Amino acid sequence: MLKTFYIQLLALIAILCYPINLSADDYSLAPSTGRKVYVPIHAKSAKGLLSITNYGRVTVKNFNYKLSHNGVVILEQKHIMKEALPRMGVATVEIDVPPHSQLSETELQVEITKVNGELNRATIPYANLPRATVTKVPRRRVVVEEYTGMWCKYCPRGIAVMENLEKNYPEDFIGIAIHISDPLKCTDYAWNASNIRNFPTLQMNRSRDLSSFIATNEFEEEKSMGADMDVDVSAQWDKQKTNITVTPRVTFRVSPKDGSYALAYVLTEDGMSKPTWSQNNIYSGDKSVLGISEEMNKFVNSPLVIKGLHNNFSAIAAKGVYTPAIEDYVKTPIEIDKVQSFKHVFDIAHNSLLQDKTKLKVCVLLINLSTKKIENAAKCIITDGSATGISAVEEGQNTVIELERYTLEGRRIHNPQKGINIVRYSDGSVRREIVTH
């Protein structure tokens, strides 16, 4: 009898305590260490990316957070979720991050204090958030080096990924197709290519391989990591159009902690094709990959052997992609906001791969020599060295027919865009033009 009483008493206590425990577990939102956020020193704030996980039982609609530096709270704010976060859900959110009072790299602490207006009960409600206060936020561009071959029946996957990234991210994607053992083989990439065992191999910034049929998520993750430096480039023909003078500029916005850096140069050509070239294609008629992307659909709807395929991003010449030259090393000590300029000349007078000079692009890669990764990059088309310079564009001014128009980054546009445009005309000239309206 006494035993039954105690069992009933314990059951009653459990029932009474259950709502209290449930309430304590309802609101549990934990942050993870955030990615470095670059904040202009004269801005009110910038958006930082923070990963959060909902360990509570209640769907998260909003949360309050505070940012601290050296124990001092610098910001308290409420964040409204764009989409409610269910139990065990993970999301990446943008939070406001104010600048430091001076150019610097600092470690902030972000703490989630409330969830849906209730006290956050997460065991670890805080995380670190690296912050770089800069004069200008560097623009990160992402390089994908595709090792491919016309003989490779699986390589249409890589071609489709490259074309899809170019379509979705024309200003920030830099594609380089390195052909192996086919008519477009680039000997300047031989050392890198010798390490490749599987085809296609697509390396993003030499830090991760792309193994799927689409890579937009990976691209956005890589781009969101930011960069410590800006890289820009311009290129110009000589009068005979046999030499291309490439002028890159590197400007660090944050002092690098360690490591050394150097530039590599790649000359690519789009639209390369010959009637005798054949691309093998195992995806012909493969409905399992139909609908993944428009670019992949093209191969599903093509034969097993494709004649006349246009090869874009094809590397036809390079320098320093395996071992950069001493003259292309970034000079040390590196000073913040100081521009370092370089120069390289591509002599293409006897380049056996070249087909169409008007479809060339110059790519410049900034390589971290310690990690071997590409930290940032830039691309451009080549302007006509015989042009009289930059001139304003007025309707009816040109006496020749305009064939193609590009931004400075090499993205093709179909109408004049305010700023500097690169225009190719029917007489073979390529000119910079300022569009003022």
Tens of pLDDT, residue by residue over 132-149, are 999 999 999 999 999 999
The tokens for 131 are 């912050």
Q: What is the pLDDT of residue 391?
A: 33
Is the pLDDT assigned to residue 401 strictly greater than 80?
A: no
Classify 20 as helix, strand or coil.
helix
Pick 142-384's CATH classification: 1.20.58.340, 2.60.40.10, 1.10.3720.10, 3.10.180.10.
2.60.40.10
As a whole number, the mean pLDDT across the chain is 89
**Model confidence, pTM:** 0.82
Is the pLDDT assigned to residue 9 strictly greater than 70?
A: no
Provide the pLDDT confidence category of residue 393 given band limits of 50, 70 and 90: very low
Residues 172-211 as b/e (b if ≥16 CB within 10 A, e otherwise) read bbbbbbbbbebebebebbeebbeebeebbbbbbbbeeebe
Instruction: Give the dihedral of Cα atoms 216, 221, 224, 225; nearest 10 deg.
Output: -140
Classify 53 as helix, strand or coil.
strand
Q: What is the pLDDT of residue 406?
A: 78
Question: Is the torsion defined by CA of 395, 400, 401, 407 positive or negative?
Answer: negative
Mean pLDDT score, 386-414: 55
Q: What is the pLDDT of residue 430?
A: 74
Amino acid letter, 196: I
Q: What is the pLDDT of residue 299?
A: 98
What is d(CA 237, CA 231) in angstroms, rounded to the nearest whole number? 21
Residues 305-360 have pLDDT tens digits of 999 999 999 999 999 999 999 999 999 999 999 999 999 999 999 999 999 999 99
* Residues in contact with 289: Cβ distance below 8 Å, sequence separation at least 6, in sequence order: 213, 283, 296, 300
Mean pLDDT score, 230-236: 96
The answer to whether 73 touches 111, Cβ cutoff 8 Å, is no
Residues 23-64 have pLDDT tens digits of 445 899 999 988 999 999 999 999 999 999 999 999 999 999
Is the pLDDT assigned to residue 17 strictly greater than 60?
A: no
Which has more pLDDT, 270 or 412?
270
Residues 175-191 have pLDDT tens digits of 999 999 999 999 999 98
* Domain spanning 29-134: CATH superfamily: Immunoglobulins (2.60.40.10)
The answer to whether 424 touches 358, Cβ cutoff 8 Å, is yes
Q: What is the pLDDT of residue 127?
A: 96
Classify 191 as helix, strand or coil.
helix
Q: What is the pLDDT of residue 409?
A: 66
The answer to whether 61 touches 91, Cβ cutoff 8 Å, is no
Residues 289-306 have pLDDT tens digits of 999 999 999 999 999 999
Q: Would you kindly state where each structural domain of the chain is located, as residue ranges? A: 29-134, 142-384, 402-435
Q: Flag the least confident range among 6-20, 100-114, 245-259.
A: 6-20
Least Cα distance to 184 among 271, 242, 243 occurs for: 271
Residues 367-383 have pLDDT tens digits of 999 999 999 999 999 99
What is d(CA 377, CA 264) in angstroms, rounded to the nearest whole number? 9
* 114 DSSP β-pair partners: 64, 119
Residues 195-212 have pLDDT tens digits of 888 999 999 999 999 999
Residues 420-430 have pLDDT tens digits of 888 876 666 67
Q: What is the pLDDT of residue 158?
A: 98
Residues 213-227 have pLDDT tens digits of 999 999 999 999 999
